[in-house]
Structure 1
């Protein structure tokens, strides 16, 4: 997730509202818990803020890649033990699922991703990654710390939670579809809604952005090998040139969007890898190309997959070559589009305006990056949003996500913790007391 500079922000509120975050109106009946303080104030207290910072820095020093988050998982479980929060582990190999509240329905989930990236950190600071070629360059260390911060606040008020908050510390967001494995484990079967957030450097500190409906694109990956017959570059007529066939395939793949896709249905096909072994004067026997394709509907993703297969194999045949296309579904499963639930969007707006202020809540355009939170949304009403950390006085653009120079402004942590806690508790307050309230998870 590294392209949030594509965001176009539209201010949707203009009046600051200061009603208590633990108060809500449902069907004209006011439900409140006046004894609970403002969660943002609690999250900014040294007891919570300094604790979140320490946890984040500890995790940042030892990043772990997808399904290898053993040390990270241990840090999470240690903190949950210290807080007296029960949990299940392992889930999806290295994940941790915590529980705060009654242990009975209704259930609402909060998700944080915990894996790092295969990037060498270039930021020189006291807590720089101590693991070569691994880095938390997508703020997952911060996401984990903020969810733990929310857990610390919620545990202090557990007796006032009208149901159960499920804490999802999920592995393998970066290409491993960890969310899918969490669902397959069955630990979220009775959850009524799930919320997630992502820190971004393009929004000011404490500002939030999202939208209802399609928010981020679904995506797939392809890798193709085009076979010809190698030979000397001085005598190309004695060879069958796979480089020419691959080059033609790349050009033709671009036309899948420019000439076949509805202009009102955003789609992207990107060839990001092109490789052919050999010296400058040698035509190779084969060439490999690879990339991704993205769209906002399952139909468009399916069509792009079919046409990528047809274009690459067809163009190869025209150039007297053969080709096979692998969509790497075992290693890199297709990610569905992130589609935010309309009712949860309305809930988010009401909570966010009370936590960060109307003027700091934005509605944004869809973006064509992908997020495995979408797997949850296929089976559970879900909502995903962005939280900014850019200094209000900064004029220079910050390094983007997935950059070796990426840094996080830790002053954003209280906003994330407070939003998590507020979204979950007010959601539970809004649900009827009947139905599944006596079911145990």
Structure 2
């Protein structure tokens, strides 16, 4: 790390802290002084040593992808790096999760989150660090997320004596449908935490930009699966069979009416059937068919209503065709909508503009995709944002959840610097710990 840059940052933080009392509810620093924090952290994050280190971490994780709650090697790698940094942590949390702590060990507490799990798909990108595990790949950027949070951990640990509180590092398993955030939350990792920040890489936005918004940013979602049973037989004698394929086909069409004819057009909802399995021959009608998919909405009420109506429509339509239907909504939890805190949106914008400039802080539209960061943001004030990584001179990046998904590794220092800046400046600006009475419990230190 460049010695001059390091001294500059330490000196700046020392000036900040010497002019601030630990009990103040708002920072006495001027906007110009506060602006130095993200600028200097971005400079440090772009140092060749740290960039190369993060790239190496990301590629190790990418080569060995693991599905939700199976991230044992990924968790081991993260813990080994935290050990080298001298950062204490808790493990296991939610089977493979890791929760690290940097700072005073006392309030206020602010959390940073990265997910770790991969997807069950075969990577189609040919490169030196392609997935070594058949049928599994990091097709959503979680390998980059983990590397960026480790990069932030390194920066935070190097400046731990300047932190006016504690940063909690949340390395979370099972974001891709497993609800790992919910399980981590249930074991109390965010007890008395004042705010939590999470990020996601995006090929929709240029490198060097970020995007966010106040309020709902991602939809809530749930999964369903149904087995529709009839009576199989030869295709030449349909009068002797009860056709589950015909029944399932009508079920799928009827499910689309839930949005087009029952939902308020101004209340965005989506029902998708993405799984249809049945039969193995051209001339034999099977005994049963399995269908499955997802349903999405921005409000909890709409999500619950969709779940109820999916159950009713599948069973009723199957009965019309003389079939039986068993509908399962899996043991996975309903993901609530991800809602960004209004005050944190203002705060995020200030930090991001200081780091990247006004024109590089973008407003994004809500998406129907889901994210289990929503569980964290329901429990404490939360903020989830996108970090751009598109560089058109390097060609178009593959979309997320695609076997052609790729990460522009130039994004790593931006994510690490944003994590570090948001946490550090939050502790500088919001130094009064939240009252324990609001949560009914108290934690004075770790």
The residue correspondences of 1:276-291 to structure 2 (distance < 5 A) are: 276-291=278-293
Task: Select which of 130, 144, 147 maps to 2:146.
Answer: 144
Q: What SS class does the counterpart of residue 266 from structure 2 fall into?
A: coil
Please, which of 61, 70, 79 is the counterpart of residue 68 of structure 1?
70
Aligned counterpart, 2:411: 412
1:353-364 equivalences in 2 (<5 Å): 353-364=353-364
CA distance in 2, matches of 1:203, 1:55: 24
Report deviation, 1:29: 3.2
Q: In 2, distance between residues paired with 1:128 and 1:278?
A: 34
1:113 aligns with 2:115: yes
Q: How do 1:286-435 residues align onto structure 2 when only pairs under 5 Å count?
A: 286-328=288-330, 330=331, 332-394=332-394, 396-433=395-432
**Could you tell me how far 1:433 is from its partner in structure 2?**
3.5
- Indicate yes or no: 2:55 matched with 1:47: no
SS of residue paired to 2:379: coil
Go from structure 1 to structure 2 and tell me whether the alpha carbon gap of 1:104 and 1:93 turns closer, same or farther (over 3 Å shift). same
Which residue is 1:440 aligned to?
Answer: 445
CA distance in 2, matches of 1:33, 1:213: 26
Contact 2:194-2:433 at 8 Å conserved across structures: no
Tell me the equivalent position of 1:275: 277
Number of the residue aligned with 1:59: 61
| More displaced 10-residue stretch of structure 1: 163-172 or 60-69 | 60-69
The structural deviation recorded for 1:435 is 5.6
Q: 158, 161, 169: which is aligned to 2:160? A: 158
Per the alignment, residue 235 of structure 2 pairs with 233
- Secondary structure of the 2:197 match is strand
Larger CA deviation: 426-435 vs 344-353: 426-435
Seen in structure 2, the aligned counterparts of structure 1 residues 23 and 401 have a Cα distance that, compared at 3 Å, is farther
Q: CA RMSD in A?
A: 2.1
- Whether the 8 Å contact between 2:35 and 2:355 is mirrored in structure 1 is no
Instruction: State the alpha-carbon separation in 2 of the partners of residues 81 and 232 from structure 1.
Output: 64
Instruction: Give 1:231 deviation, angstroms.
Output: 2.1
Stretches of structure 2 that go unaligned for 5 or more consecutive residues are 1-11, 437-442
Query: What SS is found at the alignment partner of 1:30?
Result: coil
Structure 1 CA distance for aligned equivalents of residues 116 and 291 of structure 2: 31
The answer as to whether partners of 2:217 and 2:338 remain within 8 angstroms in 1 is yes
SS at match of 1:214: strand
1:176 aligns with 2:169: no
3-state secondary structure, aligned to 1:59? helix
**Bigger shift: 148-157 or 22-31?**
22-31
Q: Which deviates the most, 210-219 or 398-407?
A: 398-407
Unaligned residue ranges in structure 1 (runs of 5+): 1-19
Q: 2:253 & 2:36 partners in 1: Cα distance? A: 64
Q: Deviations over 1:35-76 (max 9, x none)?
A: 967100000012211111111111111111111111111111
Q: Does the Cα contact within 8 Å between 1:106 and 1:436 map onto a contact in 2? A: no
1:156 Cα deviation after fit:
1.4
Task: Provide Cα deviations, 1:53-104, integer angstroms capped at 9, x if missing partner.
Answer: 1111111111111111111111111111111111111111111111111000
Contact 2:194-2:434 within 8 A present in 1 as well:
no
The structure-2 alpha-carbon separation of the partners of 1:35 and 1:199, relative to structure 1 and needing over 3 Å to count, comes to closer
Please say if residues 228 and 242 of structure 1, whose CA atoms lie closer than 8 Å, have aligned partners that are also in contact: yes
Q: Could you report, residue by residue, the CA deviation over 1:341-369 in whole angstroms, capped at 9, with x for unpaired residues?
A: 11111111001111111101111111001
State whether residues 23 and 426 of structure 1, in contact with CA within 8 Å, keep that contact through their aligned partners in structure 2. no
Write the distance in 2 (CA, Å) between the matches of 1:23 and 1:346.
21
Q: Distance in 2 between matches of 1:69 and 1:228?
A: 40
Contact 1:105 1:436 in 2 (8 A): no
> Cα 1:60–1:278, aligned 2, differ >3 Å: closer, same or farther?
closer
- Structure 1 pair 33–361 and aligned structure 2 pair: CA distance change class (3 A): closer
CA distance in 2, matches of 1:313, 1:34: 59
* Displacement over 2 Å in runs of 4+: 20-37, 432-438
Deviations 1:118-169, CA, capped at 9 Å, x for gaps: 2222222222222222211111111011011111111111111110000001
Task: Give the C-alpha shift of residue 333 in structure 1.
Answer: 2.0
Does the CA-based 8 Å contact 2:35-2:354 persist in structure 1? no
Distance 1:133 1:435 in 2: 46
Offset of 1:410 from its aligned partner? 0.8
Answer yes or no: is the 8 Å Cα contact 1:205–1:392 preserved in 2: no
Aligned length: 419
Cα distance change on mapping 1:371 and 1:23 into 2, 3 Å: farther
Q: How far did 1:206 drift?
A: 1.6
Tell me which residue corresponds to 2:86.
Answer: 84
